Amino acid sequence: MNNYKLRFVPIGGIVGVTKNMYLYEIYENDLLKDILIVDCGIGFPQEKELGVDFVIPDITYLEDKKDKIRGILLTHGHEDHIGALPYLYDSLNRPQITASKLTSVFVENKFKENNQNVRVNRVDFDKEYTMGNFRVSFVKMTHSIPDATHIIIKSPVGTFYHGSDYKLDLTPPYGSPPDFYKITKAGHEGITALLSDCLGSERPGLTLSESIVGKTFEDEMRKTKGKFIMTTFSSNISRIRQCVEAAIKFNRKVVFLGRSMKQNSKLAGEIGYLPIPESLRATDEDLPRLPPNKVCLIAAGSQGQYGSALSKLADKQNPYTKIKQGDKVVFSSDPIPGNENEVYSVIEDLVTQGADVVYSDIADQLHSSGHGNQEDMKYLIRFTNPKYFIPIGGTIRHQKQYQKLVSELGYEENKVFALAEGETVWFMKDRVAMGEPVDTKNIYVDAYGVGDIGNVVLRDRKTLSQDGIVFVALTVDAQGMLVTRPKILSRGFVYDREEDKLYQNAVKIVETAIKPRGGNAMDGTKIKRSVINALEDFFYKSKGRKPLIVVETIQI
């Protein structure tokens, strides 16, 4: 008799909001048979992770299991759900990717930008896909990007409803509302576990429809005498399209600013998701000759990212246009937690230059969250009526609030598994249990490579940013004896007027540190270690700081 069990393994996204990647594993008689991957996204670095562009999931656990991977399923086209694919796809043995129309276009373009090729299988919502021991179907869902989906995963153990980022929008500006029939049908047939987006679990009520934002754009544009500038996430095609439609109504030329904004709007236009009359298309090179009251700029950089199109406008770095009195800038997104300072800094710069800046702190209905509030979550719970729950895509506090919501609906709190990254759950025919955790870590990506940055590098970068760096040059002979006095140079450590006396004493410390003991000279490694230890102690006692110390030994 076959004995099946399923293990759920969150590689990322379970408590960090971003870097989403989830594994469903089927075991038959304790042997791993099939793995299904849902999403493969990037994460965004914390402030302390200096010089890191973004973070991707750690797939070390999958290295010896590649032959068991039956497919990658993508829920929607946001970066935190698809952005890591070009970096990890080859290492995952290039399994079939299945995604909705807009998502597949975004993914194929990301591979093209990385000089790679991939063909994504586009979802047929009327079809059930067989992938090993899994049977999979996709559900039309609403979010802040078109073509968002939920996924129903049937297995020999039970049915799992993967409810990634969503809100129950009954009047979406484009596309279909959620497929409530398919959701409730799955609920009647029996759901073992609901995996639900929990990011909005602290907010009461239902999330506002995306369509309310279009009316706001029209109202704000009507009152604008100069350039109208809207900023949002470059993947938020619904929001961008509503702004474009307002621009068409007021006969304003549409100009996209920022590489990602230009690229995504082009891709969306090619598949009919962003129609713009040719007469109202313009480029940034056209801006100098266009009347300000006939211009609508749609710019990337709503999170205040350094070097983004919006930050360049705020810093007066755009070569084609400048912010002037009468211009209006509308922020149609809320700051991601941790980005508030960057966003408000850009707002300050825009206001200083004379712009009328409209953002969520001072105006309503500029932004509608893509994540469901408490009532959205309660509806999904009632529709699916699962035996167990796993909150995903939030933080620990969102998980806790989700547990309370589940309890309010009459379910036992112990039916909710609030997991950390790498923690696993076993689902068997007659019981559910926590499993052994899987080791995970952040894989850092910067301009120079993937995974080259470790904790030591981050520690050194933090030291450089706070305490500066000290260079020590030593010239020694073959016996390791000093030939000339040590040379010391620093950057970002002490003021010039303090250097002379401090470094005179530091030179003496270095000479003492490498003085032969018992007639035995030190080798190069011991010299460096001895100098670093002595100077670290000296600088900390003298200045209360610990600069990064680099020792270079030249032997003659």
247-258 pLDDT, tens digit per residue, is: 999 999 999 999
pLDDT for res 453 = 43
Contact 299, 327 (CB under 8 A): no
Residue 519 confidence class, pLDDT cut points 50, 70, 90: low
Q: How many CB atoms lie within 10 A of CB 452?
A: 11
Task: Judge: domain 454-555, CATH 3.40.605.10.
Answer: no
Q: 372 and 167 in contact (C-beta within 8 Å)?
A: yes
CA distances from 335 to 302, 327, 352, 367, 394 (A): 8, 22, 20, 11, 15
Mean pLDDT along residues 269-287: 95
pLDDT in tens, 306-364: 789 999 999 999 999 999 999 999 998 877 766 788 889 999 999 999 999 988 776 66
- Percent of the chain topping pLDDT 90: 63
- Distance between CA atoms of 412 and 207, rounded to whole angstroms? 26
The pLDDT of residue 75 is 98
212-358: what fold? Rossmann fold (3.40.50)
More confident residue, 555 or 454: 555
Mean per-residue pLDDT for 385-391?
98
**Residue 93 pLDDT > 90:** yes
Does 16 score more than 90 pLDDT? no
pLDDT at 6 over 90: yes
For residues 81-85, give the mean pLDDT: 94
E-strand stretches of 44-96: 54-56, 69-73
Q: How confident is the model at residue 37 (pLDDT cuts 50, 70, 90)?
A: very high
Predicted confidence (pLDDT) at residue 458 exceeds the cutoff of 50: no
Listed by start position, the domains of the chain span: 4-205+369-449, 212-358, 454-555
pLDDT at 446: 54
pLDDT (average), residues 486-495 = 74
Least confident of 5-9, 313-317, 544-548: 544-548
Distance CA 230, CA 297 (A): 6
In this prediction, residue 447 has a pLDDT band, given cuts at 50, 70 and 90, of very low
Say if strands 469-476 and 548-555 run parallel, antiparallel, or are unpaired.
Answer: parallel
CA 144, CA 369: separation in Å to the nearest integer? Answer: 7
The mean-pLDDT minimum among 23-37, 448-462, 506-520, 529-543 falls in 448-462
With a pLDDT cut of 70, the percent of the chain lying above it is 89
Instruction: Return mean pLDDT, the chain.
Output: 88
pLDDT score for 372: 95
Cα angle value 484/485/491 (rounded, 5°): 125
* Per-residue tokens: 133: 């021991």
**Residues 83, 92: Cα–Cα separation, whole Å:** 15
The predicted pLDDT at position 325 comes to 95
Measured in degrees and rounded to the nearest 5, phi and psi for residue 432 equal -130, 140
Q: Which residue did the predictor score with more confidence, 159 or 508?
A: 159
Residues 6+ positions from 67 with CB-CB distance below 8 Å: 93
The candidate with the shortest Cα–Cα distance to 37, out of 83, 87, 80, 75, is 75
Position 423 scores a pLDDT of 96
Residues in the chain: 556
Q: Do domains 4-205+369-449 and 454-555 have the same CATH topology?
A: no
Please tell me the distance from the alpha carbon of residue 133 to that of residue 51, in angstroms, as a whole number.
Answer: 43
From CA 187, how far away is CA 199, in angstroms rounded?
23
Q: Residue 129 is encoded by which pair of tokens?
A: 């896909």
Order of all β-strands in the sheet with 54-56: 54-56, 443-446, 449-450
The answer to whether residue 532 scores a pLDDT higher than 50 is yes
By C-alpha distance, which of 1, 6, 12 is closest to 42? 12
Of 261-270, 417-426, 514-523, least confident by mean pLDDT is 514-523
Residue 507 is predicted with a pLDDT of: 82
Q: Which of 332, 329, 333 is nearest to 352 (CA)?
A: 329
Q: Is pLDDT at 517 greater than 70 in this prediction?
A: no
Rounded to an integer, the average pLDDT of 533-556 is 79
Architecture of domain 4-205+369-449: 4-Layer Sandwich (3.60)
DSSP conformational letter for 190: -
**Tokens coding 154:** 């049937």
The conformation of residue 420, written as its DSSP 8-state character, comes to P
Among 13-22, 49-58, 171-180, 273-282, the minimum mean pLDDT is found in 49-58
Q: Which residue has the higher pLDDT, 487 or 447?
A: 487
According to DSSP, the residues that pair with 283 across neighbouring strands are none
